Structure 1
Amino acid sequence: MKKILGWLHLWLGIASGIVVLIVALTGSLLVFEEELEHTFHSSFFYVAAPAHVNRLPLDQLVTTVQEKYSGYKTANMKIEPAGNRSIIFLLQKNKANQLYIAVNPYTGHIIEAMPASRRFFTIVLQLHRYLCMGAVGKAITGISCAIFVFLTLSGLILWWPKRNNRKQRFRVKWKASFKRLNWDLHAVFGFYIHLVLLAISLTGLVWSYQWVNGLLFYTFNGGFKAEKVTPPPSIARQGSGYFEKIYRTTNETLVYDGPVTITYGNDSLAITAFKNNIAASTANTYDFLYFEAGTGNLLKKRLHKDESAGMKARRLVYPIHTGSIFGWPTRIIALISALVAASLPVTGLLIYLGRKKKQPIVAKKRVLA
C-alpha cells in the first residue's frame, strides 16, 4: 500500500507542483493583503483628519462620484470608523470593468481612481484562484486543490514512522547531507503543518466545486441547497439625504465598532448596509440591514446571530482559508504554512531527481556483478 501511495504521491505531486507553487505563494501574500496594501499605497486609504471639522454628508460624496463617473451603475462605499480614513467606492459596469475610488471625506476631493484590473492584489487574487486564465484556470486550480488534499493525507501516511524510528522523524537534521536535509525539510515540515494545509485546501474546494459548497450546507442544515443572500425587492423613491440616514441608523442599530459598507445602484432592490463586527470571536462576522432607496427607511434586518448553522459555517470558510479566523496568531500560522507549502513541490522534485540519479549507479553495479 505504501508503494502505491508513494507512486501516486510522487506523480500527482509533479503534475500539480507548479500550480501548488503559484497558489501557495500568492496565498501567502493574500494573508496580509490589507496590511501590505495600506503600507505601500497609504495615500489611497489615509487622509489628514482636520481638527474640529466634520465629515461631509455621504449623499454629497455619492453625488460627486456619480457625476464624475456617470457610466457606472452599481456601487458600494466603505466607511471606516477611524477619522483618518478615506471613503472607498467600488463602481461597476460589469465584472470585468470595476473601478476603486478613494474620496477625502472632509473635502470631497477624489484622491485617486484605480481600475480593479490594475490593482496589485486583484491580479494576485486572479492568479490564486484562476491563474489569470478564467474558467480554465479555475478548473486547473480546483483539480490541483483536490490533489493537494490527497498529497497531504498520503504524505502523512508515508511519513508515519516505525516505533524504532520515531525520534528522527520529528526533527530536522540541519548538519546532515544536502539530500537528508532536503528530505527532512519536505517530510518533517510537511508533518508539522499538515493539519493547517488540510484545512486550507478543504476550504479552497468550497469555491472550486458547487457540490462541496452544497455538502457543507447539508452537513449543518440537512439540505444540499445553498442559501442565497439577496436584498429584498424595493422600488426606489425620489428623495435626498438618505445615505447619511442609512449610515446613522446602521450604527444606532448595530452598536459595536466596525466598518460599514453600503451597496446601492439597483433600482429594484433595497439598499444594503452591512457592518463588520471586529470585536466578534471569529472573523468575517457581519450583520445586514436593508433600506428603502429615497427614504432610508429600514425594511429588514438579517443579523448574524439569527443565521442558520449552515450559513454560519459557510462564513467561517473564508477566515479559515486565509488564517484570519482568530486574528494575528492564526494569520502568522497561515503565512508560515503557505510558505512551507510553496517549498514542498521544490523539495519533492529534488527528492525525485536524487533518486533518479541513483538508479543508473545501482544498475551498473548489477551488470558488473
Structure 2
Amino acid sequence: MMKKILGWLHLWLGITSGIVVLIVALTGSLLVFEEELEHTFHSSFFYVAPPAHAVRLPLDQLVMTVQQQYPGYKTGNMKIEPAHNRTVIFQLLKTKTDQLYVSVNPYSGHIIAATPASKRFFTIVLQLHRYLCMGATGKVITGVSCSIFVLLTLSGLILWWPKRNNRKQRFRVKWNASFKRLNWDLHAVFGFYVHLVLLVISLTGLVWSYQWVNGLLFYTFNGTFKAEKVTPPPSVAQEGSGYFEKIYRKTNETLPYSGPVTISYGNDTLAIAAFKNDLAAATANTYDFLYFEAGTGKLLKTRLHKDESAGMKARRLVYPIHTGSIYGWPTRVIALISSLVAASLPVTGVLIYLGRKKKKPVVQKKWAMA
C-alpha cells in the first residue's frame, strides 16, 4: 500500500515538474564546463599571442582606455589571469540589466571585443537554469520544481528498492530486452546509480531558491540565521592615479600563491576590493579578499579565507558542490553524467506512463442451469 501511494505521488509529481527538470538539467550540464566551452569557441576573447620580451601595460592605462571607450559604465571589475597569454576581462555595469564584457589585450591596450551580457550564450543558459528567463516568476517555478525533485529522488529510491529475489535485476540494464523493459531499466537503474549526486545537487540548488534554506545553512554552522555577506568597507575616494597597478602588485605580494586576481571598483563610497582565487586550495571557490583606498592604493583591510566563519566557509562550498567543481575534473565529470541522467528521467518516466498496459476487467461467465 505504501509503495502504491508513493508510486502515484512519484508519477504525478514527475509529470508536473518534468519539463522544468528537463530544462534545468540540460542547462546545468552545459554550465558544468562553462569555462572550457566558452574558451574553446571564443578563444580570441580570452587569449592573445604575447610579443617576445613584451611587458604588460599598467592596469591604470587599460582602465582609462576602457572608461574612455565606454563612458556610460561607471562601475565594474577586471580579471587578471597569471598566464602571459591571457587577456584582461572587464565586466562593466550601468544597471543590473545593462552589463558589458570587454576583452583587452594587456600588451597593446587594444580592445579586442565587447559583448553585452544579455547576448552572451552562458548568461542566457544561466538565466534559463535559474529563472527560465522569466525573472521572479521563473525563480518561483524552478524553486518549487527543485523541491519536487528532492521528493522524486527519495521516492524513486524507495520504489526502486528490490526484493531479496530480485536484486540483480535492479542493478543492471538489460540491453537486449524489449523497449518497454529497457526504458524502465534506463529510468530506474541509471536513476539509482546517480541518486545521491542528484540529491546533493538539488539540495544545494535550494540555497539560491529560498532565503530560509540559506539561513538554515548559516544556523547549522554559526548558530544564527543571519547570512554573512562580503562587502567592501566604507572608504571615501581620494585624488590620485596609478593606484590600480599598485593594488595588483600589493595583492600578489600579500597573497603569493598562483591564481587570477579580480579588482572591483567604481563606487566612490566603498573601498576597492581585490580578491584572489587560490587554485592550489584543497577545494574550489577559495578566495582571499583585500580592500584598498581608491586614489592611493592604501591597504585598508584584509579578509582571508582561513579566518572566515564556519558558516561562510560552508556557504562558499555550495557553488562548487552544486556544479561538481569542488575537486576538479573527476567531480565535474560525475556532475555532468548525473545531469544528463536527470534530463533523461522525465522522458523515460513519461514513456513508462504511456506504455503501461491497463488491466482489463475480468468478465465472469454465466453458466446456464441445466
TM-score exceeds 0.5: yes
**1:267 is the counterpart of 2:263:** no
Q: After TM superposition, list the pairs within 5 Å mapping 1:38-117 onto structure 2.
A: 38-117=39-118
State the distance in 1 between where 2:32 and 2:230 align.
Answer: 26
Shift of 1:132: 0.3
**1:366 is the counterpart of 2:362:** yes
Shift of 1:166: 0.9
Instruction: Provide the residue aligned with 1:6 in structure 2.
Output: 7
Q: The residue matched to 1:94 in structure 2 has which SS?
A: coil
Opposite residue 211 of structure 2, the aligned amino acid is Q
State the distance in 2 between where 1:368 and 1:37 align.
Answer: 67
Shift of 1:185: 0.4
Opposite residue 110 of structure 2, the aligned amino acid is H
Q: The residue matched to 1:138 in structure 2 has which SS?
A: helix
State the distance in 1 between where 2:203 and 2:189 align.
Answer: 21
Instruction: Provide the residue aligned with 1:280 in structure 2.
Output: 281
Q: After TM superposition, list the pairs within 5 Å mapping 1:229-248 onto structure 2.
A: 229-248=230-249
State the distance in 2 between where 1:79 and 1:368 align.
Answer: 81
**1:149 is the counterpart of 2:184:** no
Instruction: Provide the residue aligned with 1:199 in structure 2.
Output: 200
Opposite residue 281 of structure 1, the aligned amino acid is A
Q: After TM superposition, list the pairs within 5 Å mapping 1:297-336 onto structure 2.
A: 297-336=298-337
TM-score, normalisation: structure 1:
0.98
State the distance in 2 between where 1:82 and 1:229 align.
Answer: 27
Instruction: Provide the residue aligned with 1:32 in structure 2.
Output: 33
Opposite residue 311 of structure 1, the aligned amino acid is M
State the distance in 2 between where 1:51 and 1:200 align.
Answer: 46
**1:212 is the counterpart of 2:209:** no
Opposite residue 304 of structure 1, the aligned amino acid is H
State the distance in 2 between where 1:36 and 1:105 align.
Answer: 23
State the distance in 2 between where 1:217 and 1:106 align.
Answer: 44
1:92-139 superposed Cα distances (whole Å, 9 cap, x missing partner):
011100000000000000000100000000000000000000000000
State the distance in 2 between where 1:103 and 1:33 align.
Answer: 21
State the distance in 2 between where 1:15 and 1:245 align.
Answer: 56
1:191-242 superposed Cα distances (whole Å, 9 cap, x missing partner):
0000100010000000000000000000000111101211000000000110
Instruction: Provide the residue aligned with 1:181 in structure 2.
Output: 182
Q: The residue matched to 2:362 in structure 1 has which SS?
A: helix
Instruction: Provide the residue aligned with 2:139 in structure 1.
Output: 138
Q: How many residues align?
A: 364
Shift of 1:367: 4.0
1:230-286 superposed Cα distances (whole Å, 9 cap, x missing partner):
100000000011000000000000010000000000000000000000110100000
Shift of 1:167: 1.1
Q: The residue matched to 1:193 in structure 2 has which SS?
A: helix
Shift of 1:368: 7.3
Instruction: Tell me the percent identity.
Output: 84
1:323-356 superposed Cα distances (whole Å, 9 cap, x missing partner):
000000000000000000000000000011111x
State the distance in 1 between where 2:75 and 2:220 align.
Answer: 35
State the distance in 2 between where 1:260 and 1:60 align.
Answer: 17
Shift of 1:366: 2.3
Instruction: Provide the residue aligned with 1:254 in structure 2.
Output: 255
State the distance in 2 between where 1:33 and 1:73 align.
Answer: 28
1:27-80 superposed Cα distances (whole Å, 9 cap, x missing partner):
000000000000000010001111111000000000000111110121100000
